[in-house]
Structure 1
């Protein structure tokens, strides 16, 4: 069983380094199931006794089940520091809501960090499974495996007409939220992303930032998820979302090809400038760092920038976040101090890897405002 400190590591989780089809565009897929215990108040209104009882019952059901093919570690978050909880958010192991609450929240995390079970967040139970690339089927299978284990041992709050009861009405029904994390720099640069974001609600979808509800998109990373959980089966929800995600992937591919054909010099200049900023800047805000890392990742995908492994970019994406910066520094940092330390860390990582600024992309006419 892994210790708490092991999950605070700067090394990206295994799902972040997967090599699947369209892995340059779709970083991961996630399935989350919301469940509540029968005849108990939802966490916000529950007594401390009930909250502790839920924690005990849920963690016991998972840790005592010898048939589950996963090893879990259980952590009470009430005695963890703000920075430690922020790091878990930045690694997508818990939600910002669970990190920010004062009551007794806890989490079960699988050894490979692809499954986490949040206890006493907005709902009593939130099962989260993340897979690399586009693989809703496997994420749903694993989430249902955990759900079945819990349902064998616990009594869920369920209504024959409305399905699983949840704190938020938008989760009633299946209690399922499926989402895809997409890197869409070409659609962002060519201003097509605005139209897609406007269109999504009409398709029953919502676009958010990297950390879900209440977060803004940074570095051209977008989380696209379903809004409707009632009136459809789990399989229908993920199939419809996957179909739309594939269409978005194709649009991103078309936008990348168009930029290379009509604006290769301009795009090469922009992407290599971003590499230069990461190598030499002395001050980097989180927004600028995310934007530059996004541009460099695009440069690698297009063959414009070479000799940079994706593992390096994944590590930079983690350590540039406020929680990780303060954990590495060993002290709290003000915003301006974080900007200086962020630039120093990223600069050192690039220098240690001996990264060279390579440019292969000078061809075509400049006609895009990139």
Structure 2
């Protein structure tokens, strides 16, 4: 599959709608595996990395789920193409920095993505819309089992799967969800909720994972360790906490509408005005305004399809996507101009927010708030 064919259509998980938990945008499961009797990538010499890649890549491409997949060595991709894959959460920033000896194999609908010779020999991930960690794990576990028929992984009966980083030792599993939490941010409850999440051993990160800031009120919540626990235990605990955080967010939105509807209408209306008519807008400002527009879609200010439109725009206005769209390298000023043009075009048919709809009965709010995610 050609790169442009892969990127031409939005990923399945980008068009999944709100589901039961409107605050949860995506669920992701990642498994780390290393080959037995092969030096781990960080210590391997170039020929050893090449040998491991020659062993893994055919096995991955032969998987039934990866039929017709995009498969390329990173050294054959441009810097913009690699950054587009990072922006779509299909490869990591660290993997994008690698060249010869590393590859990416991505299922055509972008629900599976496998990084070869990243920090570990294999980083496999499955992404699903909404809160579907169990479904994502089930699908990835089947893929992992199929791979074990042709590849021998480094495994210790006591320690489990051996990984480069000790925090991945055991199951090699990292489970995470991307949440949209504007209600908690606007009501100044975000610090309290995230502190409670940290206290029970879960990690909170920004839009692109470790070391990145939260933009557009988007947060990733994930497990921090895997040793000594089963995959099912880790996922059940994470799903429970994420459900509670999503309920907090929904209750925060409801309370904001009850206590200060003018403030909510003002922020959503201002965001709409800027996005509809701005001719220059940087990435951070655009993401923050799209966050409020997405909030308006969930509260009834706009048609519910606005949520899906915002999710698509959140990806398409990223710097590398803009450069790919333009077919050339862009200066920051050019990116800001083209970004505004794309947003204006996509929102052209979106009518002004309907404040009367903010009090309708079509809101999926929880009536039983729980102030502490650890109390489940």
Superposed pair shares fold, TM > 0.5? yes
Does the 8 A contact of 1:220 with 1:294 survive in 2? yes
Does the 8 A contact of 1:307 with 1:355 survive in 2? no
Aligned to 2:4: 5
Aligned to 2:134: 137
Aligned equivalents of 1:363, 1:83: Cα separation in 2? 41
Does the 8 A contact of 1:205 with 1:226 survive in 2? yes
Structure 1 residues 42 and 355: CA distance shift in structure 2, 3 A: same
Further displaced range: 203-212 or 248-257:
203-212
Superposed CA offset, 1:233-280 (max 9, x none): 000000000010111011011101101111111101110110110011
Alpha-carbon shift at residue 120 of structure 1 (Å): 0.5
Q: TM-score scaled by structure 2?
A: 0.91
Aligned to 2:236: 239
Aligned to 1:335: 332
Alpha-carbon shift at residue 127 of structure 1 (Å): 0.7
Does the 8 A contact of 1:307 with 1:356 survive in 2? no
Aligned equivalents of 1:363, 1:148: Cα separation in 2? 48
Alpha-carbon shift at residue 304 of structure 1 (Å): 1.8
Aligned length: 359
Counterpart selection for 2:351 from 342, 356, 368: 356
Aligned equivalents of 2:244, 2:49: Cα separation in 1? 43
Superposed CA offset, 1:279-335 (max 9, x none): 111221111100100100101100123486334223321221010111112222222
Aligned to 1:104: 101
Alpha-carbon shift at residue 362 of structure 1 (Å): 8.8
Further displaced range: 78-87 or 57-66:
57-66
Alpha-carbon shift at residue 361 of structure 1 (Å): 4.4
Counterpart selection for 2:59 from 61, 83, 106: 61
Q: Does 1:227 align with 2:224?
A: yes
Aligned to 2:50: 52
Unmatched runs of 5 consecutive residues or more in structure 2: 360-376
Superposed CA offset, 1:153-206 (max 9, x none): 111111222111111111111100000111111011111111222232321111
Runs of 4+ that moved beyond 4 A: 68-71, 361-364
Counterpart selection for 2:179 from 170, 182, 185: 182
Q: Does 1:114 align with 2:111?
A: yes
Superposed CA offset, 1:346-369 (max 9, x none): 112222xx22212224989xxxxx
Structure 1 residues 307 and 166: CA distance shift in structure 2, 3 A: closer
Please give the root-mean-square deviation of Cα atoms over the aligned residues, in Å: 1.8
Aligned to 1:86: 83
Aligned to 2:301: 304
Aligned equivalents of 1:363, 1:254: Cα separation in 2? 14
Alpha-carbon shift at residue 29 of structure 1 (Å): 0.6
Superposed CA offset, 1:133-157 (max 9, x none): 1111111111111111121111111
Q: Secondary structure at the match of 1:247?
A: helix
Aligned equivalents of 1:111, 1:307: Cα separation in 2? 27
Aligned equivalents of 1:140, 1:308: Cα separation in 2? 28
Does the 8 A contact of 2:35 with 2:153 survive in 1? yes
Q: TM-score scaled by structure 1?
A: 0.92
Q: Secondary structure at the match of 1:309?
A: helix
Q: Secondary structure at the match of 2:148?
A: helix
Does the 8 A contact of 2:25 with 2:130 survive in 1? yes
Structure 1 residues 311 and 254: CA distance shift in structure 2, 3 A: closer
Aligned equivalents of 1:138, 1:125: Cα separation in 2? 21
